[in-house]
């Protein structure tokens, strides 16, 4: 029986592959979706990958996850640094929530060093490119099976 997992992506992540490849790599968004679904299937997950540039939509997805006790892997993108509404929605989680970042925010501009999500997440994985998602899905499987 597979377990449902939401992989939520914030602003500009739909532009992977063309957006600053020196920072975010050359994998396209479709490649990210495929990677998450393939590994998720191997781990016994039904992975639902979503992307939005809309803060309200992300908050609604976090409410959906909380209401359904659905685990979340989330790359909040720029929302990471300032969206208190999203932070409050993430704090309502009823299942594990893992924050991911493709790049290492602490090796970048100072404004990226603050995450309003980290304090309410189960954990954070950052700096491993698309591999951050693979590590997060594996960590999620361990947390759920542990």
54 is in an annotated binding site: no
Per the residue annotation, which of 24, 29, 84, 133 is the catalytic one? 24
Task: Give the Å distances, CA to CA, from 121 to 54, 80, 89, 105.
Answer: 21, 12, 11, 16
Radius of gyration over every alpha carbon of the chain, rounded to an integer in angstroms: 14
* The token pair that represents 86 in the structure block: 């999203």
74 is in an annotated binding site: no
59 is in an annotated binding site: no
Per the residue annotation, which of 29, 84, 101, 106 is the catalytic one? 101
134 is in an annotated binding site: no
88 is in an annotated binding site: yes
24 is catalytic: yes
Please report the DSSP string for 32-74 in residue order. HHHHHHHHHHHTTEEEEEEE-S-HHHHHHHHHHHHHHT--EEE
102 is in an annotated binding site: yes
Q: Which residues are catalytic?
A: 24, 101
Question: Which residues make up each annotated binding site for substrate?
Answer: 75, 81, 88, 102-103, 112
Question: Which residues make up each annotated binding site?
Answer: 75, 81, 88, 102-103, 112
């Amino acid at each position: 029986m597979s377990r449902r997992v939401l992989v939520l992506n914030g602003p500009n992540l739909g532009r992977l592959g063309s957006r600053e490849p020196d920072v975010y790599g050359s994998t396209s968004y479709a490649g990210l979706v495929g990677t998450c679904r393939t590994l998720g299937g191997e781990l016994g997950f039904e992975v639902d990958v979503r992307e939005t540039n809309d803060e309200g939509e992300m908050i609604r997805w976090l409410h959906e996850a909380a209401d359904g006790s659905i685990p979340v892997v989330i790359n909040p993108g720029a929302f990471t640094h300032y969206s208190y509404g999203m932070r409050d929605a993430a704090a309502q989680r009823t299942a594990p929530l893992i924050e991911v970042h493709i790049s290492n925010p602490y090796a970048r501009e100072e404004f990226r060093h603050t995450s309003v999500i980290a304090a309410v997440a189960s954990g954070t994985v950052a700096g491993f490119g698309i591999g951050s998602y693979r590590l997060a899905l594996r960590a999620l499987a361990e947390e759920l099976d542990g």
